[in-house]
Amino acid sequence: MPKPKRLDSSQSPRELYGAELRHQREGAGLSQEELGARLFVSGSFVDQLEAGVRRMRPEYARLADEILKTDGFFVRNLAGATRSPYEHHFADVVEFEGLARSIKDWAPDLVPGLLQTAAYTRAVIRAYDPVVPDDVVEGRMASRKARARVFDDPDRPRYWAILDEVVVRRPVGGPHTMAEQLRHIAALVRRNRIIAQVLPLSEGAHAGLDGLFKMMTFDDAPPVTYVQGVQTGRLLDDPAVVARCTLTYDLLGAAALSPAASLALIEQAAEEYENAHRTRSGDLDLA
């Protein structure tokens, strides 16, 4: 059996857990594909477990202990390996964002989390929970910033957001915060990293009135849709639900402004917020 690999102390518990899985698999003389076949998953899924990208499920941990004869190690350490800074109902969504080939967000109320600036996120958290301690706010902001690392890859995921115009017009955090937020979205569009459309208020009734949802597709797994309520959310892979959400998104895209017109509206709104901030700052200087 090979010697255990030296682990970087900066690695997360999930990464350490994955490194141990790789060590035990190699010690058993199994390839990722061979272990995957016995876990009833693909070899690429095993690779993602070993890299700490995917969370180990209880059923996989149990099988891994049986197959690799690890005396219950993977079951015993499952809790630490699956710990997440996100709410339980949202942890899998964050994981899937990092694996998705494409992500589509319908945002009827707020800028989607993947696109939020720090100041915007802080304002949202404070509005939702005014008495939460500062360190908790900072932790949530850091977690949201970490999600945005999916945009570090220039090619994937392919990201598309449709924003209700109310998202652009609602001054979350005040004019300065909104100007910064809208400039951030515009910069991602101009870098050709995301597609953004705005559904104008003049549209009236539209297909997305039931609320926000997120759709994700993958190279080696069925598409999923995430829907959210107050302190709850669900990941759904029912083909009928996915098909309905796909139709809804298509209808929203057809009713929304074109990407070019949407960018113009976003940048114009950012300029208006900047002017409002300068005016407010000048008024304060004169007071």
What is the tens place of the pLDDT at every residue in 91-134?
A: 778 888 888 999 999 999 999 999 999 999 999 999 989 998 99
Q: Cis peptide before 154, with omega less than 30 degrees from 0?
A: no
**Pair (194, 104) in one structural domain:** yes
**Pair (136, 59) in one structural domain:** no
- pLDDT score at 89: 64
In a domain, 7, yes or no: no
Asked whether the predicted pLDDT for residue 182 surpasses 70, the reply is: yes
Share of the chain above pLDDT 70, in %: 90
**Pair (134, 256) in one structural domain:** yes
pLDDT band at 18 (very low <50, low <70, confident <90, very high): confident
**Pair (211, 246) in one structural domain:** yes
C-beta separation of 66 from 13 below 8 A: no
Rounded mean pLDDT, 22-39: 94
Asked whether the predicted pLDDT for residue 4 surpasses 80, the reply is: no
**Pair (200, 256) in one structural domain:** yes
In a domain, 5, yes or no: no
- pLDDT score at 53: 64
Rounded mean pLDDT, 146-172: 93
**Pair (251, 280) in one structural domain:** yes
Closest to 96 in 3D by CA, of 146, 150, 132: 150
**Pair (196, 175) in one structural domain:** yes
Q: SS3 for 107? A: strand
Per-residue DSSP letter, 68: H
Distance CA 275, CA 268 (A): 11
- Domain boundary residue among 28, 49, 81? 81
Residue 74 vs residue 48, higher pLDDT: 74
- The sign of the torsion formed by the CA atoms of 137, 56, 98, 6 equals positive
Token pair for 140: 């949530």
Lowest model confidence (mean pLDDT) among 51-65, 150-164, 212-226, 251-265 = 51-65
Token pair for 100: 């998705």
Share of the chain above pLDDT 90, in %: 60
Which residues neighbour 115 within 8 Å (Cβ) at sequence distance 6 or greater? 148, 161, 184, 185, 188, 194
Q: How many independent structural domains does the chain possess?
A: 2
**Pair (178, 240) in one structural domain:** yes
**Pair (119, 47) in one structural domain:** no
Per-residue DSSP letter, 152: G
- pLDDT score at 86: 64
In a domain, 53, yes or no: yes
In a domain, 50, yes or no: yes
**Range of the structural domain that residue 106 is part of:** 88-286
In a domain, 126, yes or no: yes
Closest to 268 in 3D by CA, of 197, 188, 186: 186
What's 22's domain CATH number? 1.10.260.40
- Domain boundary residue among 51, 81, 111? 81
**Pair (170, 273) in one structural domain:** yes
In a domain, 257, yes or no: yes
**Pair (129, 45) in one structural domain:** no
Only one residue has tokens 């998953």, namely 41
What's 156's domain CATH number? 3.30.870
In a domain, 3, yes or no: no
**Pair (110, 200) in one structural domain:** yes
pLDDT in tens, 192-232: 999 999 999 999 999 999 999 999 999 878 899 999 877 67
- Domain boundary residue among 49, 81, 113? 81
- pLDDT score at 94: 84
Lowest model confidence (mean pLDDT) among 29-43, 48-62, 104-118 = 48-62
Distance CA 86, CA 250 (A): 30
Rg of the chain over Cα atoms, rounded to whole angstroms, equals: 22
In a domain, 6, yes or no: no
